[in-house]
């Protein structure tokens, strides 16, 4: 018998349930593999994408603690940071973002939106970010406390044991949609940038005793890093909620062969893929996450790594606003 789980309180901000659609293109029609797409790019507008599902819980906790400033981090074009900035503006508290990379001459995409929300930004090098970001956030929070502020740190991608509730519930939502449609999903697939989306889906599959394989395509760090981080997040969730779940390390499937030129960087290969998917399906993939995740999925299908006649659900985690800084690579000059 399943353990009964009562979610912690949250602000219901995401426009859920998000649609589940058949995807109109496939890299190998003869395989009999059908791809479906879970449209979590449609969770909202300025709050669009997968991050808002996690942030519903985290924001509630921040407000309940009477925090007056949100601190978080991400890449220069971070979807997560844009969503945090939007929420801070909506509820009338301050927001500071620590961003990995160099500031562009003119803000664009998510960075421009964050600027409109009047979030403060600080830019640090990739090396400093990867080595010290948790310590940097903690030091900034301590400095603010000394000034009488009440800061609340939101981790990268809102990926912590509280944020995992977002995709734990999203996984349950997805299973209900599949059951209603009479679809048996053999695989789920998603991009992995901080581990929270994958971790929540894994928890849902364990909770529901759902024999689905979850394929995670890393977009920044290596597979070993994510296997360890996801295991830690899931185990913490299990411990905090006093669950009797049994997690196997072999359940965590992460592939880091599709990162391309680097995090939030694309070559002509990724740019052409984004253009072709847009043209053939009417769906926009973003350069940092979903394009690389779907390139990985397509390659798995072409190489026979997914069993013939399987059903695969790809989680579209959003990122439409992040395409604009890549316009020089993405524009189709044949028109």
**Cβ within 8 Å of residue 53, ≥6 positions away:** 14, 16, 40, 43, 166, 167, 169, 170
CA distance 187 to 307: 10
Predicted local distance difference test score (pLDDT) of residue 251? 93
Overall CATH class of domain 20-49+160-330: alpha beta
CA distance 180 to 172: 12
Predicted local distance difference test score (pLDDT) of residue 334? 74
34-39/20-22 β-pairing: antiparallel
CATH topology match: 20-49+160-330 vs 51-158: yes
Catalytic residue among 67, 78, 159, 205: 78
Tell me the angle at which helices 196-207 and 164-181 cross, rounded to the nearest 10 degrees. Answer: 50
Which residues in the chain land under pLDDT 70?
Answer: 1-3, 335
119 catalytic per annotation: no
pTM for the full model?
0.96
Q: Is residue 160 within 8 Å of residue 80, measured between CB atoms?
A: no
In 3D, which of 161, 141, 259 has the Cα closest to residue 203?
Answer: 161
In 3D, which of 99, 56, 57, 94 has the Cα closest to residue 78?
Answer: 99
Predicted local distance difference test score (pLDDT) of residue 335? 66
Predicted local distance difference test score (pLDDT) of residue 1? 41
DSSP element (H, E) containing 296 = helix 290-302
Domain ranges of the chain: 20-49+160-330, 51-158
Q: Is residue 178 within 8 Å of residue 20, measured between CB atoms?
A: yes
DSSP element (H, E) containing 20 = strand 20-22
User: What would the CATH number be for the domain defined by 51-158?
Assistant: 3.40.50.1100
DSSP element (H, E) containing 290 = helix 290-302
The 8-class DSSP code of residue 4 comes to P
Predicted local distance difference test score (pLDDT) of residue 3? 55
């Amino acid at each position: 018998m399943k353990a009964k789980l009562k979610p912690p309180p949250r602000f219901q901000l995401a426009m859920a349930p998000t649609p589940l659609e058949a995807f109109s293109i496939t890299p190998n029609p003869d395989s009999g593999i059908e791809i479906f797409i879970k449209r979590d790019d449609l969770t909202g507008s300025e709050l669009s994408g997968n991050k808002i599902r996690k942030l519903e819980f985290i924001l509630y906790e921040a407000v309940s603690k009477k925090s007056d400033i949100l601190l978080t981090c991400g890449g220069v074009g971070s979807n997560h940071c844009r969503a945090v900035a939007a929420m801070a503006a909506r509820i009338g508290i301050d927001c500071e973002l620590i961003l990995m990379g160099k500031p562009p001459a003119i803000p664009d995409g998510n960075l421009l939106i964050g600027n409109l929300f009047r979030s403060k930004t600080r830019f640090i090098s990739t090396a400093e970010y990867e080595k010290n970001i948790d310590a940097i956030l903690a030091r900034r929070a301590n400095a603010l406390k000394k000034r009488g502020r009440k800061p609340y740190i939101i981790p990268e991608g809102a990926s912590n044991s509280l944020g995992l509730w977002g995709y734990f519930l999203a996984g349950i939502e997805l299973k209900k949609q599949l059951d209603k449609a009479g679809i048996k999903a053999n695989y789920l697939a998603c991009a992995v940038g901080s581990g929270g989306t994958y971790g929540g889906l894994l928890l849902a599959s364990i909770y529901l005793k759902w024999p689905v394989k979850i394929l995670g395509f890393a977009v920044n760090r290596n597979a070993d890093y994510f296997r360890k981080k996801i295991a830690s997040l899931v185990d913490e969730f299990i411990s905090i909620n006093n669950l009797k779940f049994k997690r196997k390390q072999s359940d965590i499937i992460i592939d880091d062969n599709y990162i391309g030129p680097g995090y939030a960087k694309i070559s002509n290969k990724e740019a052409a893929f984004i253009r072709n998917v847009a043209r053939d399906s009417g769906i926009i993939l973003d350069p940092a996450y979903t394009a690389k995740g779907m390139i990985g999925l397509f390659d798995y299908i072409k190489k026979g790594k997914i069993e013939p006649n399987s059903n695969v659900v790809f989680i579209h985690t959003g990122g439409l606003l992040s395409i604009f800084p890549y316009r020089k690579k993405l524009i189709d000059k044949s028109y």
